[in-house]
Amino acid sequence: MKIDPRSSSIATNEIGAINRIFQARRLQAKITTPGLSYLAPQHWVYVVSLHPSVKPADVAALQDSIAEAITHLRREPTPVRIQYTPLGVEVPAVYPRPVRWTTANWQIQPGEMIAGTTYAPAAYGGEQPLLLDIYQQHHLLVAGMSGAGKSTALQMLVTSLAASTSPEDCQFWFIDRRNAELTDLKRLPHVVAHASQNEDSHALIVALNQELERRIVARAKTPHILLVVDELAALAENRETTALINDLLNRGRGNGIGSVLATQHPTQQAIGSISLANITARLVGAVANATTANFVTGQPGTGAHNLKVKTGSFVYVEGQDVLRVQTYLVPEEEVQAMVAGIRKRWAAARPAMLQQPAPEPEPKEQPIPANVVQAFRDNYNETTGELQWGGLSAIIRALFGPDANTGGSYKRRAEEVVQRLKTTTTTAYAHQINRYSPK
């Protein structure tokens, strides 16, 4: 991967500071420059070499001292995470850059879904995609506090599976208690049912358990069913629903029924009534503290509580294996384009739909005035996918006049227009910009 010279210089200074801490403690440990360390898009890892007499726990005991040293160098609070096999000191990247979904390799096998990318020194495999197989990792827990990137990770998992696997072979059953990200995906041809209310959610779980019983009697395992839940903690409030979910987790995997269960409340108090014993694969983002990290990952020492929020930083835990994962950025305004592409891909396939209503008609949109389009073009950075400072105010003035208030309903309307224009201005969809040009 390409290394920014500025990043390389900062990393060298930080490695020197950490080595001085080792020397001051007379610890026979060292980070070599450049050695085995690596600078990933959202995090940097300085790999530590140890004398045979030194234990990894001796380095981990210095975590707070290292965090103070890095914080002093950067002049801002900087979390430090200790990783193992290989032993390394992880810090957030100084110049972070997102990893967009369009950069992923979508040429994957049926049954596979894209979880993200792992990074390591070349000697340990380098950069690798993390692909999960629904026929092997039967149940997956996706967890992290608000802002950790859980919902974006969930969208990437579902859309990549929908792209790789025909709706004839895989069904989705959605429970979206937050009525958010999964709602954008309900027009996928794989979707059998979508529930967002308490009563509907319980009815869906009951129906899925009935399907489980039917399969056991008929000795049927196809098509594969994936239960996808966004906000597991909301279901844990109902004891009857919880019991049925636990039964699905226990018997479903042997009968072609798997799950992806997501929550932003990954505490024992919130989801403790739902057994995690049958969930061996877990994708965990930033959580509040070490107690929560230990509970949700199923083992100590993962450092999930030291991950930085709003960066797509996760750890993937399967059995005793712990991998540091960077999930992909999926901008909200591009989700519908992803869904449209998947629908087109499987247009000739027989949808495995039992209860899905007819597709909703496409909403009619009013043309955006040419001066607003121009204001957007003048202030939009296609590389970062963001407006420059003051860009939204310029669009508000273009829409409503030079004296318009830049808050309230004017701001909300301008944000809606920006979302429309982003979809047509990204590299993949730039040719559609003519739709908004004057005749």
Look up tokens 């109902």; give the residue: 238
Helices (H), 252-321: 268-271, 290-297
> Residue 322 region, left (φ>0) first, then alpha (ψ -120 to 50), else beta?
beta
Q: How many whole angstroms separate alpha carbon 26 and alpha carbon 294?
A: 31
Look up tokens 């384009």; give the residue: 337
Query: Do 64 and 71 touch, CB atoms closer than 8 A?
Result: no
Look up tokens 């699905």; give the residue: 248
Give the 3-state secondary structure of residue 117: strand
User: pTM of the predicted model, to two decimals?
Assistant: 0.78
pLDDT confidence band for 224 (50 / 70 / 90): very high
Query: Do 219 and 165 touch, CB atoms closer than 8 A?
Result: no
pLDDT tens, position by position, 236-277: 888 899 999 999 999 998 999 999 999 999 988 888 788 888
Q: How many whole angstroms separate alpha carbon 396 and alpha carbon 32?
A: 52
Considering only residues 406 and 111, tell me which one the structure prediction assigns the higher pLDDT: 111
Considering only residues 409 and 378, tell me which one the structure prediction assigns the higher pLDDT: 378
Tokens matching residue 347: 């247009």
Q: How many whole angstroms separate alpha carbon 79 and alpha carbon 73?
A: 13
pLDDT tens, position by position, 382-423: 777 788 888 889 988 898 888 777 777 788 788 888 888 887
Asked whether residue 437 carries a pLDDT value surpassing 50, the answer given is: no
- Max CA separation in the chain (angstroms): 76
pLDDT tens, position by position, 41-100: 999 999 999 999 999 999 999 999 999 999 999 999 999 999 998 899 999 999 998 899
pLDDT score at 203: 92
DSSP-derived letter for residue 91 is E
Sequence-distant (≥ 6) Cβ neighbours of residue 384 within 8 angstroms: none
pLDDT score at 365: 64
Q: Which helix (H) or strand (E) holds 225?
A: strand 224-230
Span of 1-10, 76-85, 263-272, 348-357 with lowest mean pLDDT = 348-357
Q: Which among 227, 285, 223, 225 has a CA at the least distance from the CA of 261?
A: 227
Give the 3-state secondary structure of residue 120: coil
Handedness of CA 403, 406, 408, 414 (dihedral sign): positive
Asked whether residue 358 carries a pLDDT value surpassing 90, the answer given is: no
Distance of CA 236 to CAs 239, 252, 268, 270, Å?
Answer: 7, 19, 11, 7
Asked whether residue 324 carries a pLDDT value surpassing 70, the answer given is: yes
Distance of CA 198 to CAs 88, 106, 171, 206, 265, Å?
Answer: 45, 35, 22, 12, 18
Q: Which among 167, 168, 232, 156 has a CA at the least distance from the CA of 201?
A: 232
**Helix (H), strand (E) counts: the chain:** 13, 18
Sequence-distant (≥ 6) Cβ neighbours of residue 409 within 8 angstroms: none
